[in-house]
């Protein structure tokens, strides 16, 4: 794919307005008939084109109306004719109806206000190529595990971005497995609608039964001969009554032997940072978090921390297999929770590549990926006077949370730096005087969001992601003030705070404000609501106005604006034609370094096995162009530039933290079991410094005590424990967790020796594989205490997390290369250098190197 120009990145937005029309022809053959059709063009022009070949001029256009519903969805001519037929009007030939104009108008009014007549099990679409691949790969993996061990409970992850069609594809997997009992669990109950709709609308699942907490069906009355799907939340199914027992209404769920358990939105529940990040630092936001995600969330997440070890330890159900679904499972990938053969990937890059490939190979055909817009990231460096009031934190960069800090709620909410936020509002609409002067001097006018005519159409409906509830209310108040006349054209919806409702309750006001998407202009203000599990087709841009630490949260929010908005069969005469109303979408960010850090982590996260992380980022930005405004000019940035900016301010201290992370090593039972089964591996770990101080048979003790804990927990589930057994359970659990932590600490201590070795060696490594294969074995043994063969063996057994180590190796090498060049040293000719930072090797790294040298 060729690199797009800045003009192509700022692509104009298409204009199309769907219309329903009806016309009559004044002759005997068409007496009493109306032709009902649809188009996105001028109705007169469209009808003239239809009748031109027949040289018909004696026609009258009887109706020309908007074809959108109040919620923005499209009314098709087919739907109008079907509704007329249900009312008894004859459809004697193709698109001609024997009815009056008033009848067509009545049907339109009914369809527009939501009186839709949709049957069940009427969809017939097949699996797309990538969906079929996901089903086949998962099925084959499950079968292979069951062939090895009939009692195995295999796990598989679909790393599939939104719009992959995970619900429909999961059902197809269940069908291929012959599953009769399928349990779907999620932390986001708002996604239930998709699970129910897909099951009840597609012909492939005719006869299947759907149950949930919200359904009124009695579980005892279900047909045992028909497949059953139960949808529930972790919070509900794992919740206990005041006596610590499973809720009575959920008892039946725990007695069924499920064929397949699906964990939906796995990225959300599996680590607490996502929930905490959205609501940290604000009392009212913390209260909102409890309302939004249920008070049991914290306890459930504590249990989920051991999920990769054994689901049965916290989830009191039995199943033949687990399927995990996530659009951003970076931590699951980075921690090695799933090995390569347990993962199916369908990423944003895969989607956009498929879109490009289909268009090239099938010119003129309807592209099944065509309506999925390509994302563009635009970052803006703020003027020095604004940077000065809110630059802080780990990298001394523009702190969005500090800049948009606010107090109060409702009409009393106000910004701490209100005058400066007003200046920011002026900046993004191109009305800030000092910047205008600078633009005149430089002869350039940067494309600010609400000033550039190419961007304005994509901001007709936008999402502003703010730090907390107070900031959302303060922004609404400021936009409404008299001096902000420009913003009075926008309907501002505050989707934040308890007053906005819980979960999907916050969505209807947004839809009401947007309407059909053509007439109104809206801004939705949120600090967490509506950032996962919702689709608003008309949102075409998001303004990132808060700090977000994890790329999971950042891109979950960003993908809200990547929802497709299109009109299929726009003129009613070609079902293979589709008019795309949103070919691209925009993410605007005002903390450039942080934004590019998120982008680089996302790119690397999409390709955890990539040998060179720069290639992963390059692959991503080929489909997600980045424009950066540096205060004077707007420039496009390549992968190398993104990594340079993303790592700006990195210190040796931060690099050292990468090598002290618990994520670098795996100490779950499966990994420890592999080590225990290998005499060579046991000999290797025993050579790690301090290992013998842990005592004899430490690994075997951990596994045995862990098994004992599982046995006692199962007994507790089946019939309860005596007081003595409860104490035994508590003691055993504390001891094995304590010993596991000691093993983890020893392995991490070994890992911290690797950067010391890399600093001393003459090789510049990109990946862990380079460390293993291109190094000086004697020096490696001296510094780390293990031979190269030992280390290679432990890596193969997954004791060390190769993806995380690759990331740390790459960061160290890039940092050290830059440091050497900064000091004028070019010690490794012919090697690629990736950037220059205004830093030198810090004392922490030097001290480690000196100690290692002394040991040598």
For 284-312, the DSSP string reads: HHHHHHHHHH-TTHHHHHHHHTTTTT-GG
The token duo for 324 is 């995990």
468 and 339 co-located in one domain:
no
Locate all alpha helices (DSSP H) within 202-271, ordered by sequence.
Answer: 234-237, 251-255, 266-269
Q: What is the mean pLDDT of residues 779-794?
A: 80
The token duo for 267 is 């990225």
Quote the CA–CA distance of 167 and 160 in Å, as a whole number: 11
pLDDT over 70 percentage in the chain:
73
Q: What is the mean pLDDT of residues 748-767?
A: 65
Q: How are beta strands 626-629 and 374-380 bridged, if at all?
A: parallel
Query: pLDDT tens for residues 442-484?
Result: 556 778 999 989 999 999 999 999 999 999 999 999 999 999 9
The angle, 0 to 180 degrees and rounded to 10, between the axes of the packed helices 418-428 and 469-479 is 60
Quote the CA–CA distance of 231 and 174 in Å, as a whole number: 14
Q: What is the mean pLDDT of residues 762-790?
A: 69
Residue 426's pLDDT band, with cuts at 50, 70 and 90, is: very high
135 and 86 co-located in one domain:
no
SS3 335: coil
Whether 199 is covered by a domain: the verdict is: yes
666 and 761 co-located in one domain:
yes
What is the pLDDT at residue 375? 94
140 and 61 co-located in one domain:
no
Residue 391's pLDDT band, with cuts at 50, 70 and 90, is: low
Whether 100 is covered by a domain: the verdict is: yes
Q: How much helix, strand and coil, in percent to the nearest 5, is found in the chain?
A: 50, 15, 35
Q: Are 622 and 786 in contact (CB under 8 A)?
A: no
Domain final position from 346, 365, 393: 346
- In the predicted structure, residue 38 carries a pLDDT above the cut 70: yes
The token duo for 476 is 């609404």
CATH code of residue 179: 3.40.50.300
390 and 340 co-located in one domain:
no
Q: What is the mean pLDDT of residues 791-807?
A: 77
Q: Are 528 and 503 in contact (CB under 8 A)?
A: no
103 and 133 co-located in one domain:
no
Q: Are 228 and 215 in contact (CB under 8 A)?
A: no
42 and 138 co-located in one domain:
no
Query: pLDDT tens for residues 582-604?
Result: 999 999 999 888 888 888 878 87
Quote the CA–CA distance of 312 and 310 in Å, as a whole number: 5
Whether 732 is covered by a domain: the verdict is: no
71 and 194 co-located in one domain:
no
Q: In terms of residues, how long is the chain?
A: 856
425 sits in which H/E element: helix 418-428
Quote the CA–CA distance of 712 and 728 in Å, as a whole number: 9
266 and 311 co-located in one domain:
yes
Quote the CA–CA distance of 106 and 84 in Å, as a whole number: 9
Quote the CA–CA distance of 359 and 719 in Å, as a whole number: 61
Phi, psi at 809, each rounded to 5°? -60, -45
From the list 528, 137, 505, 189, the residue with the least C-alpha distance to 341 is 137
CA dihedral for 173, 179, 184, 190, sign (positive or negative) = positive
From the list 801, 771, 789, 795, the residue with the least C-alpha distance to 680 is 789
Q: Within 10 Å of residue 727's Cβ, how many Cβ atoms?
A: 11
Quote the CA–CA distance of 753 and 849 in Å, as a whole number: 9
What is the pLDDT at residue 406? 96
Burial of 479 (0-12, 13-18, 19+ CB in 10 A): middle
Query: pLDDT tens for residues 690-713?
Result: 887 888 888 888 888 887 877 777
What is the pLDDT at residue 333? 67
Mean pLDDT of the chain, nearest integer: 77
Whether 619 is covered by a domain: the verdict is: no
Q: Are 90 and 97 in contact (CB under 8 A)?
A: yes
Helix and strand numbers (H, E) in the chain are 36, 28
What is the pLDDT at residue 824? 43
What is the pLDDT at residue 228? 94
Whether 225 is covered by a domain: the verdict is: yes
Domain final position from 346, 368, 391: 346
265 and 319 co-located in one domain:
yes
CA dihedral 248, 249, 254, 258 (to 10 degrees): 170
Query: pLDDT tens for residues 506-557?
Result: 889 999 999 989 989 999 999 988 887 778 999 999 999 998 877 878 888 8
Whether 723 is covered by a domain: the verdict is: no
- In the predicted structure, residue 744 carries a pLDDT above the cut 60: yes
Whether 308 is covered by a domain: the verdict is: yes
Query: pLDDT tens for residues 66-86?
Result: 888 867 778 889 889 988 988
Domain final position from 58, 80, 112: 112
Q: What is the mean pLDDT of residues 128-147?
A: 95
Q: What is the mean pLDDT of residues 127-143?
A: 95
What is the pLDDT at residue 850? 36
Query: Of 670-684, 724-738, 841-855, which one has max mean pLDDT?
Result: 670-684
Residue 759's pLDDT band, with cuts at 50, 70 and 90, is: low
Direct distance between the N- and C-terminal alpha carbons of the chain, in angstroms, rounded to an integer: 50
SS3 264: strand
Number of structural domains (the chain) is 4
CATH code of residue 479: 3.40.50
102 and 147 co-located in one domain:
no
The angle, 0 to 180 degrees and rounded to 10, between the axes of the packed helices 753-760 and 843-855 is 80
Whether 283 is covered by a domain: the verdict is: yes
Give the structural domain span for 396.
Answer: 383-589
329 and 453 co-located in one domain:
no
Query: pLDDT tens for residues 331-380?
Result: 666 666 787 889 999 989 999 999 999 999 988 788 889 999 999 999 99
- In the predicted structure, residue 727 carries a pLDDT above the cut 60: yes
What is the pLDDT at residue 428? 93
């Amino acid at each position: 794919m060729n690199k797009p120009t800045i003009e192509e990145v700022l692509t104009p937005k298409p204009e199309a307005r769907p219309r329903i029309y009806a016309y009559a022809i004044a002759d005997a053959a068409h007496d009493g008939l109306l032709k009902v059709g649809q188009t996105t063009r001028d109705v007169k022009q469209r009808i003239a084109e239809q009748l031109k070949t027949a040289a018909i001029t004696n026609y009258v256009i009887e109706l020309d109306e908007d074809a959108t519903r109040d919620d923005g969805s499209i009314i098709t001519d087919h739907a109008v004719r079907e509704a007329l037929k249900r009312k008894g009007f004859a459809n004697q030939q193709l698109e001609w109806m024997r009815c009056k104009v008033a009848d067509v108008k009545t049907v339109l009014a009914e369809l527009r206000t939501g009186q839709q007549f949709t049957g069940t099990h009427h969809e017939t679409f097949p699996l797309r190529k990538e969906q079929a691949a996901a089903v086949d790969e998962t099925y084959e993996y499950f079968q292979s595990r069951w062939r090895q061990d009939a009692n195995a409970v295999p796990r598989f992850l679909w790393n599939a971005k939104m719009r992959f069609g995970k619900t429909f594809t999961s059902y197809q997997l269940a069908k291929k497995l012959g599953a009769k009992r399928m349990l779907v669990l999620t932390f986001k109950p708002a996604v239930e609608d998709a699970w129910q709709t897909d099951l009840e609308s597609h012909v492939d699942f005719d006869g299947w039964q759907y149950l949930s907490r919200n359904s009124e069906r009695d579980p005892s009355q279900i047909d045992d001969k028909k497949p059953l799907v139960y949808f529930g939340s972790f919070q509900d199914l794992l919740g206990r009554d005041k006596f610590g027992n499973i809720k009575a209404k959920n008892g039946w769920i725990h007695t069924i032997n499920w064929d397949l358990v699906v964990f939906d939105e796995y990225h959300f529940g599996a680590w607490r940072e996502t929930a905490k990040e959205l609501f940290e630092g604000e009392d009212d936001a913390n209260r909102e978090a409890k309302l939004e995600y249920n008070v049991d969330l914290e306890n459930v997440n504590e249990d989920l921390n051991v999920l990769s070890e054994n689901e049965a330890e916290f989830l009191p159900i039995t199943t033949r297999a687990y399927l995990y679904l996530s659009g951003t499972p970076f931590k699951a990938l980075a921690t090695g929770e799933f090995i390569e053969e347990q993962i199916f990937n369908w990423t944003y890059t895969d989607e956009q590549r498929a879109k490009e490939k289909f268009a090239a190979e099938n010119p003129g055909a309807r592209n099944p990926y065509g309506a999925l817009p390509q994302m563009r990231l635009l970052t803006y460096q703020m003027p020095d006077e604004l940077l000065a009031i809110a630059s802080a934190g780990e990298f001394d960069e523009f702190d969005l949370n500090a800049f948009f800090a606010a107090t109060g709620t409702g009409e009393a909410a106000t910004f701490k730096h209100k005058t400066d936020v007003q200046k920011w509002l002026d900046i993004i609409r191109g009305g800030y005087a000092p910047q205008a002067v600078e633009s005149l001097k430089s002869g350039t006018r940067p494309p600010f969001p609400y000033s550039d005519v190419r961007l304005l159409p994509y901001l007709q409906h936008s999402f502003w992601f703010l730090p907390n509830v107070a900031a959302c209310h303060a922004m609404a108040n400021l936009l409404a003030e008299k001096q902000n006349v420009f913003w009075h054209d926008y309907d501002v919806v505050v989707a934040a705070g308890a007053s906005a409702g819980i979960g999907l309750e916050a969505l209807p006001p947004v839809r009401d404000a947007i309407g059909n998407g053509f007439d109104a202009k809206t801004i939705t203000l949120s600090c967490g609501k509506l950032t996962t599990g919702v689709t608003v087709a008309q949102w075409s841009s998001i303004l990132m106005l808060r700090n977000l630490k994890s790329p999971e949260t950042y891109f979950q929010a960003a993908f809200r604006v990547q929802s497709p908005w299109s009109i299929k069969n726009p003129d009613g005469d070609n079902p293979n034609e589709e008019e795309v109303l949103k070919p691209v979408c925009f993410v605007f960010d005002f903390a450039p370094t942080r934004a590019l850090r998120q982008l680089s982590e996302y790119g690397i996260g999409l390709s955890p096995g990539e040998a060179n992380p720069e290639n992963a980022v390059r692959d991503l930005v080929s489909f997600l162009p980045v424009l950066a405004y540096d205060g004077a000019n707007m420039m496009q940035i390549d992968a190398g530039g993104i990594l340079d900016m993303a790592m700006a301010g990195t210190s040796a201290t931060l690099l050292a933290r990468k090598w002290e992370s618990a994520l670098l090593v795996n100490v779950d039972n499966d990994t420890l079991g592999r080590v225990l089964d290998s005499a060579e591996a046991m000999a290797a770990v025993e050579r790690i410094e301090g290992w013998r101080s842990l005592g004899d048979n430490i690994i075997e003790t951990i596994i045995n005590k862990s098994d004992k804990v599982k046995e006692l927990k199962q007994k507790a589930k089946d019939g309860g424990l005596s007081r003595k057994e409860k104490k035994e359970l508590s003691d055993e659990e504390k001891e094995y967790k304590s010993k596991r932590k000691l093993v983890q600490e020893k392995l991490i201590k070994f890992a911290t020796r690797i950067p010391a070795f890399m600093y001393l060696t003459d090789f510049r490594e990109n990946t862990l594989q380079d460390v293993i294969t291109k190094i000086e074995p004697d020096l490696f043994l001296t510094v780390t205490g293990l031979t190269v063969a030992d280390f290679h063996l432990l890596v193969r057994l997954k004791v060390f997390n190769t993806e995380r180590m690759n990331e740390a190796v790459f960061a160290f090498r890039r940092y050290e290369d830059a440091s050497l060049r900064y000091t004028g040293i070019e010690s490794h000719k012919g090697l690629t250098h990736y950037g220059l930072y205004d830093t030198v090797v810090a004392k922490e790294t030097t001290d480690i190197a000196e100690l290692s040298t002394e040991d040598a």
